[in-house]
Structure 1
Amino acid sequence: MTEKECDYHQDEEERARRRIGAAVLGLLVAAAVVIFLVWAILHPHGPRFVLQDATIYAFNVSQPNFLTSNLQVTVSSRNPNDKIGIFYDHLDIYASYRNQQVTLATILPATYQGHLDMTVWSPFLYGTTVPVAPYLTAAMMQDLNTGMILLNVKIDGWVRWKVGTWISGRYRLHVNCPAYITFAAGGSSSSSAAAVVKYQLLQRCAVDV
């Protein structure tokens, strides 16, 4: 084989590789455009969460800097999309005070939420002698003495979107529900909630997907 024939075959192979590369790139671009158009047309919205109520069974601050709490909350989630379903793969719910987690995380059951469907959970949140930072204990005692404390019921987990038979990858979900709880003013450090009290809250939650 002459040198000219070798150069010719090399050029043909190079052109074939370029055509294959261009075809693959074109398919990827076309798929990306289709996905973008479907996403734009459907215009998905994140789920909407509402903290409906909270029942306080125990909320006791003891020295030095420990909190024992037991509460039940009712949280609802609504899928506002009429063409998109939502998978909740794993959800942890817990209570926090000034960004410190003060109860153990409770796992909510995995759930699929159809178009415009609503789901209601009523988990128990509890923590026994949970250590609290000293400055937070002082702030908590001050709040209890004034008769009101702000807890945040938080949910962390993963969601997936379903359109027809197509299911997306997992997206991180963060939910933050403020709960303003009132106690008898001047609650002591050993017992701040003497009786079971249920609070109707109907508080809209902040949702970040």
Structure 2
Amino acid sequence: MTSKDCGHDDDDRKDGFRCIIGGILTLIVLVLLAIFIIWLVLRPTKPRFILQDTTIYAFNVTAPNLLTATFQVTLSSRNPNGRIGVYYERLDVYASYHNQQITLPTRLPFTYQGHKDITIWSPFLYGNSVPIAPYLGMSLQQDQNAGLVLMNIKINGRVKWKVGTWISGKYHFNANCPSYITFGNKGNSNNPNAFNFGAAAVKIQQSSSCQVDVAI
């Protein structure tokens, strides 16, 4: 084999390498283009959650660093997509006060939500003698004196998307719903939502929009 033949073989290998790289780049561009077209057609939008009401059965500091809380919350979820269904998998709901979890997580039932459908859940949230940071007891007393408590109802779990017969992989789902609770002397005519800790159950209408995040 002459040196000229060897040089020709090198050129062939370079051309073949360029063809492979070009093919890979073309495939990547086509895949990205297909994803973009699908996104334009489907316009996927995150589900919308609303905290409709909160019923308080107990919300008391039972010891300097122990908090007992029992709530029932009503959550409404709407799928705004006209071509995409949503599978809610392993959604856990719990209450948080000053970024500290104060109830055990309650598991919502597995749910499929069709196009434009609305789903309503009414889970109970329990926390019996939950240890809390010392400052939270003081903060709760201050909130009681001010007549307003801000809690957060949080939802964590997984969701899947459904388009036709295709079902996506699992996505992380998080929702944060502020719950404003007013209280004072029970029977205060100026404040129909007022209640004392330890009093009978009180239901507070809220219609609070939740912040929803969906990520891979």
The normalised TM-score by structure 1 is 0.88
Q: Determine whether 1:48 maps to 2:53.
A: no
Q: Determine whether 1:73 maps to 2:73.
A: yes
Q: Contact 1:146/1:185 (CA < 8 Å) preserved in 2? A: no
Give 1:48 shift: 0.7
**Inter-partner Cα distance in structure 1 for 2:110 and 2:147:** 37
2:108 corresponds to: 108
Q: Contact 1:48/1:207 (CA < 8 Å) preserved in 2? A: yes
Most deviating of 52-61 and 76-85: 52-61
**Inter-partner Cα distance in structure 2 for 1:170 and 1:22:** 33
Q: Contact 1:85/1:114 (CA < 8 Å) preserved in 2? A: yes
Q: Contact 1:183/1:193 (CA < 8 Å) preserved in 2? A: no
1:131 corresponds to: 131
2:212 corresponds to: 207
**Inter-partner Cα distance in structure 2 for 1:22 and 1:96:** 53
Q: Determine whether 1:197 maps to 2:178.
A: no
**Residues 21-170 of structure 1: pairs in structure 2 closer than 5 A:** 21-170=21-170
Give 1:32 shift: 0.6
Letter of the 2:17 partner, please give it. R
**Inter-partner Cα distance in structure 2 for 1:194 and 1:61:** 14
- SS of residue matched to 2:54: strand
Q: Sequence identity, in percent?
A: 56
Question: Any unmatched runs of 5+ in structure 1?
Answer: none
Give 1:46 shift: 0.9
**Inter-partner Cα distance in structure 2 for 1:122 and 1:141:** 28
Give 1:69 shift: 0.9
Most deviating of 50-59 and 191-200: 191-200
Cα deviation, 1:77-103, whole Å, max 9, x if unaligned, reads 000111111222232211011211111
Aligned length: 205
Give 1:185 shift: 4.1
The normalised TM-score by structure 2 is 0.85
**Inter-partner Cα distance in structure 2 for 1:98 and 1:144:** 14
2:190 corresponds to: none
1:6 corresponds to: 6
Most deviating of 129-138 and 168-177: 168-177
- SS of residue matched to 2:82: coil
**Inter-partner Cα distance in structure 2 for 1:105 and 1:61:** 20
Question: Any unmatched runs of 5+ in structure 2?
Answer: 187-195
